Amino acid sequence: MSDDVRPTIARPMIARPTIAHPMIALQGITKTYPGQTRHAVAQLDFDVPDGNIVMLIGPSGCGKTTTLKMMNRLIEPTSGRILLDGEDVTGVDGDQLRRRIGYVIQQVGLFPHFTIADNIAVVPRILGWDRKRIDTRVDELLHLVGLEPRDFRDRHPRQLSGGQQQRVGVARGLAADPAVMLMDEPFGAIDPITRDRLQDEFLEIQRQIAKTICFVTHDLTEAVKLGDRIAVFGPGGVLQQYDTPEQILTHPANDFVAEFVGSGAAVRRLSLLELSRLELEQISVDGVDSPNGHPTYRADAAGRAVAWSHLPGVSEMPPLVTVPLSGTVYDAVDVMLDMRTPLVAVVDHEDRPQGALRWDALVRELPTKGRRP
Amino acid sequence: MGFGEYVGSELSTLGFYAQQHFLLVLYAVAAASVIALALGVLLHTNELTPESWTRKMRVGSRETALLLASAALTVPSLALFGLLQPVLGIGVAPALVGLTIYGTYPVLRNTVAGLSSVDPAVLDAARGMGLGPVRRMLRVQLPLAWPVILSGIRVATLILIGVAVVAAIVRGPGFGQPLFTGLGRLGAVNSFNQVLAGTLGCLAVAAVYEIAFFAIARLTTPRGIRVR
């Protein structure tokens, strides 16, 4: 299991150095439900690093929701220890523990007889915040999740759409500013278009608030899109692999993970891998320096690529086609097929080439940065 | 003597009966509601019962309470008051106790139904936010179950207005007295007027209660579960 962590949402190009501080740590956790011989979760050691989004994924009945619910002790473990920010919380008062941890579920579960503002204010009220602080916080959170406080504060949950309700659900989870958020398939019951938008907004929010988030999903696309790390659970609540999304996709630890990732994994990976995370083929501007074997290109005054000037082993230059660095490998393949060229230049937001990607490289193993060998 | 004339001459007596009838039902419904609500709420979740109670014991007690309350409702009212008389004598006491026994079932049944109908997702969220069992019951479950419970109380009230008449055989207060007197001497002077006044009196009391319940339902149902 590698220790490095993909830099989250800010997506700098270099992986952040190893961090040793887990916000949540499960140590030797086992859960056996009464009357059952099989473990729901078996001997689980699991660290959630501070500020990360960790996705728990696996087939039905693999213990991912059980694991999540043991983190705030909605389900009490049969044995083992739970540490929250270094503090052993295995034996503390469960209700008080849960007030320190945000909780968002698929069915949202807003209180229908409360206004939106009152729903968000539940935990702050219990914690005894004064009125003014609560009002300010409610407005702040409604803004954060993209709902205009003036329009939504005094409405009731049943007057809101499913997507709006889940925004309120997220705001409610964040209300008392917990360090940790537990989310159980929060976007699972929402239509695909709204879900996609909510996921984007969720990443945007996480960039601002940098919480430690544990997120149960059954959707691999969602796991790869949102997760800094993915934990794949197998039957009997056994953790099969816990790693970065690209490691899960490129190097499944065993047959179970390989099968779970699925036969479409190779193509799926293309649309999930951003070009910025690839080790691109080095290219250089014509005339500056031409190390043997590197493609070179002619550039205009602004440094934008205009045409290929030299490609090793090729006499007739193909047209120079570019794809943005922010795109995915899938985009690059699309452009190659569309333009019938085996080579694209990858450019940054100012159209300056950062490297090249070849058709040939795609069928070999795609080298990515920021992970251990 | 015509009915109008009769009512005119007996107005203060009839008013007194009306007041007695109204209060008898009010006290009985209040007592029945307190008992049924306490039972229903306590036996709804294991977190409110003593820790030594298993789920089986709790559910068993709840079903037993429902069974007993419904069995009591099937005892003929005349017989029930007759059975209470040796123990509680005559007058208000047996009337009140008898009516309370009758009123318990509808409230208990609706309390159980109302509490069970609360969306499990709402409860999961409440638990996940750190609301303890008591807070959850008072802030979430009871308010959401309230419209169902209230309609149970209303049904109990209507039943008791009718049954309260029978309480007159143990000298219970209310419109049962003129009714029974009238029925006992049918054909005599004003006997039919007494029966008619007792019947219409019950209807009038029922009408007052209906109006009251309409107002209470409007005032106590949270806006969020009224809106659609």
Q: Which of B125, B135, B144 sits opposite A103 (nearest CB)?
A: B125
Confidence of residue A313 (pLDDT cuts 50, 70, 90): confident
CB within 8 Å: B224 and A112: yes
CB within 8 Å: A172 and B224: no
Interface size, chain A vs chain B, as Cβ–Cβ contacts under 8 Å: 81
**With 50 as the cut, is the pLDDT of residue A272 above it?**
yes
pLDDT score of A116: 97
Residues of B in contact with A169 (CB under 8 A): 125
Percent with pLDDT over 70 in chain A: 89
- pLDDT, tens digit (0-9, with 9 covering 90-100), for A171-225: 999 999 999 999 999 999 889 889 988 998 999 999 999 999 999 998 888 898 8
Confidence of residue A372 (pLDDT cuts 50, 70, 90): very low
The whole-chain average pLDDT of chain A stands at 86
Q: Where are the domains of chain A?
A: 22-100+179-272, 276-363
Return the CATH number of A22-100+179-272, one of 3.40.50.300, 3.40.47.10, 3.40.50.450, 3.40.50.2000.
3.40.50.300
**Does residue A157 sit at the B interface (CB-CB below 8 Å)?**
yes
Closest CA to A283 of A302, A309, A317: A309
CB within 8 Å: B135 and A126: yes
What is the mean pLDDT of the segment spanning B29-58? 92
Residues of A in contact with B129 (CB under 8 A): 98-99, 103, 122-123, 126, 172
Closest CA to B124 of A234, A188, A290, A69: A69
Domain A276-363 in the same topology as domain A22-100+179-272? no
Confidence of residue A17 (pLDDT cuts 50, 70, 90): very low
What is the mean pLDDT of the segment spanning A126-134? 96
- pLDDT, tens digit (0-9, with 9 covering 90-100), for B121-155: 999 999 999 999 999 999 999 999 999 999 999 99
pLDDT score of A142: 96
**With 70 as the cut, is the pLDDT of residue A110 above it?**
yes
pLDDT score of A288: 64
For B3-226, CATH number?
Answer: 1.10.3720.10
**Does residue A276 sit at the B interface (CB-CB below 8 Å)?**
no
Per the CB < 8 A criterion, the answer to whether A204 and A231 are in contact is no
Residue A158: closest C-alpha in chain B: B228
For A276-363, CATH number?
Answer: 3.10.580.10
Between A309 and A215, name the one with better pLDDT.
Answer: A215
Task: Determine which of B118, B123, B129, B225 to mutate to test the interface with A (most A C-beta atoms within 10 Å).
Answer: B129
A272: which DSSP letter? H
Which residue is associated with the tokens 């005339």?
A287
According to DSSP, the β-strands at A322-324 and A343-347 are: parallel
Per the CB < 8 A criterion, the answer to whether B71 and B159 are in contact is no
- Give, in order, the Cα–Cα distances in Å from B176 to each of A90, A166, B10, B166, B179: 64, 58, 16, 6, 5
Strands (E), chain A: 22-31, 41-49, 53-57, 79-84, 87-88, 101-105, 180-184, 212-216, 229-234, 238-243, 284-285, 296-299, 305-310, 322-324, 343-347, 353-358
Q: Which of B121, B224, B227 sits opposite A114 (nearest CB)?
A: B224
Closest CA to A322 of A309, A334, A310, A313: A334
What is the mean pLDDT of the segment spanning A294-313? 81
Q: What angle do CA A69, A71, A75 make, to 5 degrees?
A: 40
CB within 8 Å: A109 and B124: yes
**Does residue A115 sit at the B interface (CB-CB below 8 Å)?**
yes
Q: Where are the domains of chain B?
A: 3-226
Confidence of residue A334 (pLDDT cuts 50, 70, 90): confident
Residues of B in contact with A157 (CB under 8 A): 224
What is the mean pLDDT of the segment spanning B62-70? 94
Least confident of A229-233, A264-268, A313-317: A264-268
CB within 8 Å: B224 and A126: no
**With 70 as the cut, is the pLDDT of residue A91 above it?**
yes
Task: Determine which of A93, A111, A172 to mutate to test the interface with B (most B C-beta atoms within 10 Å).
Answer: A111
Residue A104: closest C-alpha in chain B: B125
* Number of helices followed by number of strands (H, E) in chain B: 11, 0
User: What's the pTM?
Assistant: 0.80
The whole-chain average pLDDT of chain B stands at 93
What is the mean pLDDT of the segment spanning A284-298? 73
What is the mean pLDDT of the segment spanning A61-80? 94
What is the mean pLDDT of the segment spanning A344-361? 86
Least confident of A279-293, A305-319, B11-25: A279-293
Q: What angle do CA A181, A183, A188 make, to 5 degrees?
A: 155
**With 60 as the cut, is the pLDDT of residue A13 above it?**
no
Residues of B in contact with A122 (CB under 8 A): 129, 131
Burial label, B133 (beta-carbon count in 10 A; 0-12, 13-18, 19+): middle
Q: Fill in the amino acid letter for B25.
A: V
Sheet of strand A322-324, all strands in order from the earlier edge strand to the far edge: A322-324, A343-347, A353-358
